[in-house]
A and B are shown apart, each in its own frame.
Chain A
Amino acid sequence: MYSYSQFDKDFVQTRVDQFRAQVERRIDGSLTEEEFRPLRLMNGLYLQLHAYMLRVAIPYGTLNSAKMRQLAMIADKFDKGYGHFTTRQNIQYNWPKLNEVPDILQALADVEMHAIQTSGNCVRNVTADHFAGAAADEIEDPRPTAELLRQWSTDHPEFAFLGRKFKIAITGSPNDRAVTKAHDIGLRMVRNDAGEPGFEVIVGGGLGRTPMIGKVLREFLPREDLLPYVESILQVYNILGRRDNKYKARIKITVHENGIEKIRELVEERFVLQRAAFGEFNHALFNDIEAAFAPPPYISASTDAFEAAKSSDPAFRSFVDTNLSAHKNDEYAIVSISIKKQGDTPGDATSEQMRVMADLAQKFGHDELRISHEQNVILPHVHKSHLHEVYKTLQAVGLGTANIGLISDIIACPGMDYCALATARSIPVAQEIATRFDELKLEHEIGALKIKISGCINACGHHHVGHIGILGLDRAGVENYQITLGGDGTETAAIGERAGPGFSADELLPAIERLIYGYLEIRADEHETFLQTYQRLGAEPFKAALYPETKIAAE
């Protein structure tokens, strides 16, 4: 775990003190809302439908037990006893009071956390593969690079007022769990012919109202060149990016309108200057950062008890089958804790659950936790001999749901239950789908399936890259849900295709049921996933299942 330098500490503390004074001035009337709004947004404080919302950064999704306990404390003391984990590896509090926000920021600063750059047209919290540092398929842990980017981008004066927000995601694995192709910049670690690790640089991806899959700007970038190269991209975007139209201001539009070749030419031109300006790569600094992310002191012990528990406890067996992923150390596993118990709100954890996860991390997980963009919590390093106890402890507080990657492991944005931008609700839709398929006991038979729900066109719920995407809209004053099919958020990223006319809130669940039953009928065998069947057969049979009346009319 990276620990703040004195510089980091001073910077964050200064910001807390500044914001405290700004809040005081807002409350005593010396600042109007117009004056205050940009100041609060710089500190992650939004005004939502029913209350303020504070968005707290969890850099590259990594935290330890002390941080998690502090998040729980904040939930209890300043909120309503829970927090909402988001698709950007942040946590949001839905009920803070304006006069208490400075105290919350202080509590965060006390454990080296903050809410800076979680809003506004700046470089946002850098997100990373939630299995970073643990995954069996990883080339190298991408988090030292993510931390380097965090240091570079934090309060970067040139990029504090970009044309629009800017999101960077990074992965060290060929299997992309960080959705790098749907970010302004995606960085995928690759090796060159000499076997040295570097980055494939992807630019211009994004979801929202104009979804785009990112394009490769540079096939191999040595790590030493990363900061001058990324800075060159930002400079080109800052100059070329449109400021006349908010909806055309993201870099994906800049890339689309100018063409990747032109962008590449400009970036490479800038890069020559930037590399000279940056000078020699500071190996000592990077080595220090890298040391902070050194692998934990793994233990070695018998895993017989784990094998025995798998045979004797069928519920545990099911958890093992769905919620564990391969660790680079054979004796270890990566545990995905589902924050998606059927019927509950996706991504919401109570303070008690946070404390239990913190305790487990401390006792059995080398004090590490991760937040995934899929709104789950990860224990990245658990020795197999401890898994059964970890499972039983999770189970006791409603965190033992064995559904990772299944139909009820749904991404859902807060939607119109909280968000001021939303056009429809998402949470009740997720709750209904998850509950229904749990009742039908079909979840495991259906297998790998990603449903992603957004309550508006901005696509925080990543619906474009859901195997089934659901977009909530306001159609003439009524909630209406559009379905997209065949989206993919991995290294084979694809934007889902709109299936047809939308469904009312009442029609949606039956439509999803028809779609799923339709898939079960046409799949080649039980191993062919929903997405594979879609890729093999195309949209038509799925549309026929969704819109049976159209089929009848055509016959």
Chain B
Amino acid sequence: MARPFKPKVLTANRLIEGDVVYYAANGEWVSAHENAMFIEDEAEANDLLAQANAQSYLLVGPYLADAVLERGKPVPTHFREAFRTRGPSNYDHGKQAEA
């Protein structure tokens, strides 16, 4: 039996800056995880990933990452993805600087 699909967000790094970005429901790539599109349908997730892979001029290494909804916003389930939402822990040099 196929494993049940776990909800995802679509993420990548920007080609020039290398910044972590997320695919938002309006089709933009945004830096805040909470603004990412929460994808609950596997086929849609794979479609969006394929589209992102075709945006090689803009992005590097798109992939789907597990997420859950908390207070209506997507939140990462794994600590690696949580680190990607804010930046390194030794300096405020990542996204935490924008916050």
- Residue of A47, A49, A52, A428 near B84 (CB, 8 A) is A49
Contact with B along A88-103 (1 / 0, CB 8 A): 0000001111110000
Whether A417 and B90, one on each chain, are in contact in the complex, defined by CB atoms closer than 8 angstroms, is: yes
Q: A33-B61, A49-B84, A97-B16 are in contact. Are A80 and B93 (CB under 8 A)?
A: yes
Q: Cβ of A477: which chain B residues have Cβ within 8 Å of it?
A: 77-79
Complex Cα–Cα for A94 and B17 (A):
11
User: Which residues in window 403-428 of A have CB below 8 A to B?
Assistant: 416-418, 425, 427-428
Which residue in chain A gives the minimum CB-CB distance to B66? A477
Complex Cα–Cα for A28 and B56 (A):
10
Whether A345 and B57, one on each chain, are in contact in the complex, defined by CB atoms closer than 8 angstroms, is: no
Whether B90 and A428, one on each chain, are in contact in the complex, defined by CB atoms closer than 8 angstroms, is: yes
Which residue in chain B gives the minimum CB-CB distance to A26? B15
Does B32 lie at the interface of the complex (its beta carbon under 8 Å from any beta carbon of A)? Answer: no
Q: Cβ of A52: which chain B residues have Cβ within 8 Å of it?
A: 18
Whether B60 and A50, one on each chain, are in contact in the complex, defined by CB atoms closer than 8 angstroms, is: no
Does A27 lie at the interface of the complex (its beta carbon under 8 Å from any beta carbon of B)? Answer: yes
Complex Cα–Cα for A403 and B67 (A):
43
- Residue of A29, A94, A348, A418 near B57 (CB, 8 A) is A29
User: Which residues in window 318-375 of A have CB below 8 A to B?
Assistant: 345, 348
Q: A95-B93, A427-B90 are in contact. Are A29 and B16 (CB under 8 A)?
A: no
Does A62 lie at the interface of the complex (its beta carbon under 8 Å from any beta carbon of B)? Answer: no
Whether B88 and A418, one on each chain, are in contact in the complex, defined by CB atoms closer than 8 angstroms, is: yes
Whether A417 and B83, one on each chain, are in contact in the complex, defined by CB atoms closer than 8 angstroms, is: yes
Whether B18 and A427, one on each chain, are in contact in the complex, defined by CB atoms closer than 8 angstroms, is: no
Does A431 lie at the interface of the complex (its beta carbon under 8 Å from any beta carbon of B)? Answer: yes
Complex Cα–Cα for A97 and B60 (A):
13
Q: Cβ of A96: which chain B residues have Cβ within 8 Å of it?
A: 18
Complex Cα–Cα for A49 and B63 (A):
13
Does A305 lie at the interface of the complex (its beta carbon under 8 Å from any beta carbon of B)? Answer: no
Does B26 lie at the interface of the complex (its beta carbon under 8 Å from any beta carbon of A)? Answer: no
Whether B19 and A50, one on each chain, are in contact in the complex, defined by CB atoms closer than 8 angstroms, is: yes
User: Which residues in window 48-99 of B have CB below 8 A to A?
Assistant: 56-57, 60-61, 77-80, 83-84, 87-91, 93-95
A256 to chain B, nearest CB (A): 32
Number of A-B contacts (CB under 8 A): 74
- Residue of A32, A49, A80, A98 near B16 (CB, 8 A) is A98
B87 to chain A, nearest CB (A): 5
Complex Cα–Cα for A416 and B56 (A):
25
Q: Cβ of A28: which chain B residues have Cβ within 8 Å of it?
A: 57
Q: Cβ of A27: which chain B residues have Cβ within 8 Å of it?
A: 15-16, 57
- Residue of B13, B80, B93, B94 near A47 (CB, 8 A) is B13
Whether B15 and A98, one on each chain, are in contact in the complex, defined by CB atoms closer than 8 angstroms, is: yes
Whether A428 and B18, one on each chain, are in contact in the complex, defined by CB atoms closer than 8 angstroms, is: no
Complex Cα–Cα for A26 and B58 (A):
10
Whether B90 and A345, one on each chain, are in contact in the complex, defined by CB atoms closer than 8 angstroms, is: yes
Does B9 lie at the interface of the complex (its beta carbon under 8 Å from any beta carbon of A)? Answer: no
Whether A51 and B79, one on each chain, are in contact in the complex, defined by CB atoms closer than 8 angstroms, is: no
Whether B89 and A425, one on each chain, are in contact in the complex, defined by CB atoms closer than 8 angstroms, is: yes
- Residue of B18, B89, B91 near A51 (CB, 8 A) is B18
Contact with B along A26-40 (1 / 0, CB 8 A): 111100110000000
Does B20 lie at the interface of the complex (its beta carbon under 8 Å from any beta carbon of A)? Answer: yes
Complex Cα–Cα for A182 and B76 (A):
38
Q: Cβ of A292: which chain B residues have Cβ within 8 Å of it?
A: none
Which residue in chain A gives the minimum CB-CB distance to B17? A97
**Residue among A50, A95, A427 with most chain B CB within 10 A:** A50
Which residue in chain B gives the minimum CB-CB distance to A100? B16
B88 to chain A, nearest CB (A): 4
Q: A27-B15, A417-B83 are in contact. Are A47 and B60 (CB under 8 A)?
A: yes
Whether B79 and A98, one on each chain, are in contact in the complex, defined by CB atoms closer than 8 angstroms, is: no
Q: Cβ of A33: which chain B residues have Cβ within 8 Å of it?
A: 56, 60-61
Complex Cα–Cα for A279 and B80 (A):
54
Complex Cα–Cα for A382 and B17 (A):
42
**Residue among B13, B79, B90 with most chain A CB within 10 A:** B90
Complex Cα–Cα for A32 and B61 (A):
11
A537 to chain B, nearest CB (A): 36
Does A479 lie at the interface of the complex (its beta carbon under 8 Å from any beta carbon of B)? Answer: yes
Q: Cβ of B60: which chain A residues have Cβ within 8 Å of it?
A: 33, 47
- Residue of B20, B83, B93 near A94 (CB, 8 A) is B93
Q: Cβ of B78: which chain A residues have Cβ within 8 Å of it?
A: 477
User: Which residues in window 1-38 of B have CB below 8 A to A?
Assistant: 13, 15-20
A38 to chain B, nearest CB (A): 14
Whether B90 and A32, one on each chain, are in contact in the complex, defined by CB atoms closer than 8 angstroms, is: no
Complex Cα–Cα for A474 and B78 (A):
10
Which residue in chain B gives the minimum CB-CB distance to A29? B57
Whether A479 and B79, one on each chain, are in contact in the complex, defined by CB atoms closer than 8 angstroms, is: yes
Complex Cα–Cα for A551 and B89 (A):
36
Q: Cβ of B87: which chain A residues have Cβ within 8 Å of it?
A: 50
Complex Cα–Cα for A95 and B57 (A):
20
User: Which residues in window 471-506 of A have CB below 8 A to B?
Assistant: 474, 477-479
Complex Cα–Cα for A89 and B11 (A):
33
Whether A417 and B15, one on each chain, are in contact in the complex, defined by CB atoms closer than 8 angstroms, is: no
Q: Cβ of B57: which chain A residues have Cβ within 8 Å of it?
A: 27-29
Whether A98 and B89, one on each chain, are in contact in the complex, defined by CB atoms closer than 8 angstroms, is: no
Which residue in chain B gives the minimum CB-CB distance to A28? B57
**Residue among A32, A51, A96, A348 with most chain B CB within 10 A:** A51
A101 to chain B, nearest CB (A): 10
B33 to chain A, nearest CB (A): 13
**3 A-B pairs with the lowest CB-CB distances in the bound complex, closest first:** A417-B88, A51-B18, A29-B57
The 24 sampled A-B contact pairs (Cβ below 8 Å) are: A26-B15, A29-B57, A47-B18, A47-B60, A49-B80, A50-B18, A50-B19, A50-B88, A50-B95, A51-B13, A80-B91, A95-B93, A97-B18, A98-B15, A345-B91, A348-B90, A417-B90, A418-B88, A425-B89, A427-B88, A427-B90, A428-B90, A477-B77, A479-B79
Measured CB to CB, the residues of A under 8 A from B are: 26-29, 32-33, 47-52, 80, 94-99, 345, 348, 416-418, 425, 427-428, 431, 474, 477-479
Measured CB to CB, the residues of B under 8 A from A are: 13, 15-20, 56-57, 60-61, 77-80, 83-84, 87-91, 93-95
